[in-house]
Every structure is written in structure tokens, then in C-alpha cells.
A and B are shown apart, each in its own frame.
Chain A
Amino acid sequence: MSEHKTMWTTRVRKATLEKYQPTDILPDQQPAYVSSWIYVAGVATIAAFVMLFASGLILTLEGPAWWHNSSTGHFINSIHLWSVELFFVFMVVHLWGKFWMAAWRGKRLMTWITGVVSFLASIITGFTGYLIQGNFDSQWIATQAKDGFNAMGIGAYFNALNTGQAMLLHVSLLPIVLGAIVVWHVILVRKRGVVPPIDSSIDEGKGGSK
């Protein structure tokens, strides 16, 4: 089959394969220095994110009456809560570890930046999640946040008391944004490789899978 070089699909395919080798994106080995618990925090964050996403899908399908009034709903609601607790715990450990490793070395600046942006997006997603619990806790958080936003001049653009808006942000827009940034972050980690320890003899720019 002849190749149509002018087609956009051909150009995108070639550019993607040139930039992201399948052996880099899906490696079967990692450098020896990755054998440390501090390197596990990143993948533990992703595992918690997967649990968050799966439990969130079930909550979305069933609705607030179900997660407040049925035992199965309570269970899935609790899984969603504890997943987000673990998500932030592991992400903070991952952040501290990468900060003290200066993980932006060796052309990994965009990896660091996507990590920071995903952290900020996670805080906004977590906040909208607290707003839509549908209990006194969420009412308290919403009224306090409303005053805070008004003090900062943001109240004209985002009303924390608008539960419907918070619900749509939490279950549609923010998961897409956060999911896309996390995927981008992981692809960059695969492409650039895991950063070697400071002062190691390994070339900083070549810390990828072997």
C-alpha cells in the first residue's frame, strides 16, 4: 500500500513515532537506581487516581440519593474519599522526592511543570468534590469559600454556592483536564526516563529505560 505523504494522518503518525518510541513508552526494564521506595510514590499516585476515576464513574451513574442512603453507596463513596486521601498523600511524597532530587535536570523541565500543573488541577478537582457531597460539610465549605473568593475578586466568575456548576466541573471538565495532564506527564516521564540520583556517574539526559 502506497504512503500518502501529504495526508495529515501520515504526518502525525510519523511525527509521533519519531518523537515517542514504543520501546520508551512501554519499557520492560528500568535503571538500577529506581529500586527505592521513593520512586514508588509516583505510580502509587496513579494507582489511587485509577481507583478515584473508577469509583467516581459509579457514583456518577448512581447519584447522590444512592451514595447517601444505601450501604453499597456508602461503601463506594468511602472508596472515593479514601482514594483521594491516598492520592494526595502519595502525590505530596512524590513531589517532595522529586523536589529534593531536582528532577527537572536533563531536559525534564516540562515533566516537572506538568506535575506541578496536575497538582494544582487536583486541588481544584478536590475542592469541587467537597462542594458536591450534598451534606452540611459541603454547605460549610461552600459558604466559607464564597467569602474567600469574593475577597480575592473571583466571586464574579465562580460562585461556590452554585452546586450544579461545581457538580459539572467535578464530573466532566476537571477529570478530562486532570486526566490529560497526567497522561502527558507519564508520557514525558517515559520519554525522558526517570531522573538519575544527583552526583551519579549516569548522564542526566539519559536516565531512560534500558
Chain B
Amino acid sequence: MKLLFIDLNHPAHYLNIGVLSISIGNLVMIASVVALFVLALVLPFPSHDEDKESGK
């Protein structure tokens, strides 16, 4: 029975660069959090219409 879009029924894939060894899953997770952090800084925040009307 295959319920997932990604087949997880195998040992994790690892990225090895010198002494650095990290699983692809952990790397994707860390990259996602960094991306979320950057987006939180650069994306414009929606403003309330009532604030515009009252000139705040």
C-alpha cells in the first residue's frame, strides 16, 4: 500500500562533504526554515483598510 508521494521505505540519503554529513531530510528542513525566515523579513505585511481611512 503506497500512501505517500515520496517513498520513505528505505534508509535516509546522506550528503557527505568532507567532515560534514547530513541527511537530505534534515537539510531540506533547515533550508525551509531559513527560507521562511527570509520571507518573513521581505514579504510585505497586509495593512488594514480602516487604518488607511483614518490616516494612521
* A interface residues with partner B (beta carbon < 8 Å): 32, 35-38, 40-41, 89, 92-93, 96-97
Contact = CB atoms under 8 A, between A and B. Distances in A.
7 contacts: A35-B47, A36-B40, A37-B43, A38-B40, A93-B37, A93-B40, A96-B37
Contacts of B32: 89
Contacts of A38: 37, 40-41
A83 B22 CA distance: 24
B45 interface: yes
A85 to B, nearest CB: 9
Q: Categorize the interface residue count of chain B.
A: 10 to 19
A40 B47 contact: no
A93 B36 contact: yes
A185 B56 CA distance: 30
A92 B33 contact: yes
Given A93-B40, A97-B40, A37 B33 contact: no
Contacts of B6: none
B39 interface: yes
A35 B45 contact: yes
B10 to A, nearest CB: 15
Interface centre among B32, B37, B43, B45, by most A CB within 10 Å? B37
Contacts of A37: 39-41, 43, 45
Nearest to A90: B36
